[in-house]
């Protein structure tokens, strides 16, 4: 009987270990397969398929809660899904996804902050900050969201120090959003916002059209520069898209650019 009582917790531990091992193996497969998702040319297909993959990530994290790679993938997945497929028509639902993405990235940071982050923390810090910026942008009527705006700048500056080219120079997108979201009387500066979006569109970011879309939606609108707004959106709409890791994002950017251009008279 004593031997049986001793074996029961050992069997439980073995089961937990096997679950964690299986989760690690599967999370590696998920991580390796993400480029195939980003390369898709059919946004509707991804819109329908991705929720199941997000659910799988959450199941894997239940067995291996400290898996940093999976935490970062979950953060990117929830944030990206909210931005690409929910924000325009279901902002409340998008807000929920942004908060989930931010929470997963926060877990991956393991206590690191903009002040203490090291090179190894750059990717979770990016998704934590990017999810937060997107949440703020569609919740400008909420005091708690506006109160968090100043936290974007130190995080984005740290990202520009640690890994400025990550995700197609998108730390500059965060800085652009920071200066566009803030009212002028509280430090907002559409001109500086535009400068950062221009930096985002250099080098590897030149053909990443979601940055161009954010540039139009945030900096051009904040500056009330209709000519810039139309030029950026028309560049997206007329662009010939190439296969590769940016294909899905660029297909989505085309759809979003057309919808935003239709709202021109409301914005200017």
**pLDDT of 101 higher than 60:** yes
DSSP secondary structure, 6-74, as one string: HHHHHHHHHHHHHHHHHHHHHHHHHHHHHHHHHT-S-HHHHHHHHHHHHHHHHHHHHH-TT-HHHHHHH
**pLDDT grade for 36, boundaries at 50, 70 and 90:** confident
pLDDT tens profile 115-128: 999 999 999 999 99
Asked if residue 124 lies in contact with residue 68, where contact means CB atoms within 8 angstroms, the answer is yes
Asked if residue 22 lies in contact with residue 63, where contact means CB atoms within 8 angstroms, the answer is yes
**pLDDT grade for 29, boundaries at 50, 70 and 90:** low
**pLDDT of 13 higher than 50:** no
Q: State residue 226's pLDDT score.
A: 98
**pLDDT of 104 higher than 70:** yes
Q: Is 14 left (phi over 0), alpha (psi -120 to 50) or beta?
A: alpha
For the segment 233-262, the average pLDDT, to the nearest whole number, is: 97
Lowest mean pLDDT among 16-30, 32-46, 245-259: 16-30
* Nearest C-alpha neighbor of 201 from the set 168, 224, 249, 166: 168
* Nearest C-alpha neighbor of 117 from the set 155, 68, 165: 155
* Residue % of the chain over a pLDDT of 70: 88
The more confident residue out of 116 and 19 is 116
For the segment 209-224, the average pLDDT, to the nearest whole number, is: 97
**pLDDT grade for 92, boundaries at 50, 70 and 90:** very high
For the segment 186-201, the average pLDDT, to the nearest whole number, is: 95
Helices 152-162 and 166-181: crossing angle in degrees, nearest 10, is 160
**pLDDT grade for 189, boundaries at 50, 70 and 90:** very high
The more confident residue out of 2 and 178 is 178
């Amino acid at each position: 009987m004593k031997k049986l009582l001793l074996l029961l917790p050992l069997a439980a531990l073995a089961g937990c270990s096997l679950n964690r091992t299986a989760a690690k193996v599967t999370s590696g497969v998920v991580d390796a397969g993400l480029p195939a998702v980003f390369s898709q040319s059919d946004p509707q297909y991804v819109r329908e398929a991705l929720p199941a993959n997000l659910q799988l990530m959450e199941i894997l994290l239940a067995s291996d809660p400290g898996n940093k790679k999976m935490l970062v993938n979950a953060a990117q997945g929830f944030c990206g899904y909210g931005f690409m497929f929910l924000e325009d028509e279901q902002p409340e639902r998008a807000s929920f996804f942004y908060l989930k993405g931010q929470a997963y990235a926060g877990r991956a940071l393991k206590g690191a902050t903009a002040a203490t982050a090291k090179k190894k923390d750059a990717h979770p810090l990016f998704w934590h900050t990017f999810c937060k910026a997107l949440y703020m942008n569609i919740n400008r009527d909420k005091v708690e969201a506006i109160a968090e705006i100043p936290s974007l700048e130190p995080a984005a500056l740290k990202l520009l120090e640690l890994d400025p080219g990550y995700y197609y120079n998108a730390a500059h997108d965060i800085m652009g959003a920071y200066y566009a979201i803030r009212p002028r009387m509280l430090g907002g500066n559409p001109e500086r916002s535009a400068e950062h979006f221009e930096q985002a569109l250099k080098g590897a970011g030149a053909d990443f059209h979601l940055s161009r879309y954010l540039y139009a939606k945030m900096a051009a609108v904040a500056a009330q520069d209709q000519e810039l707004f139309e030029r950026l959106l028309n560049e997206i709409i007329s662009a010939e898209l190439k296969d590769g890791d940016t294909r899905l994002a660029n297909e989505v950017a085309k759809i979003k650019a057309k919808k935003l251009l239709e709202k021109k008279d409301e914005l200017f």
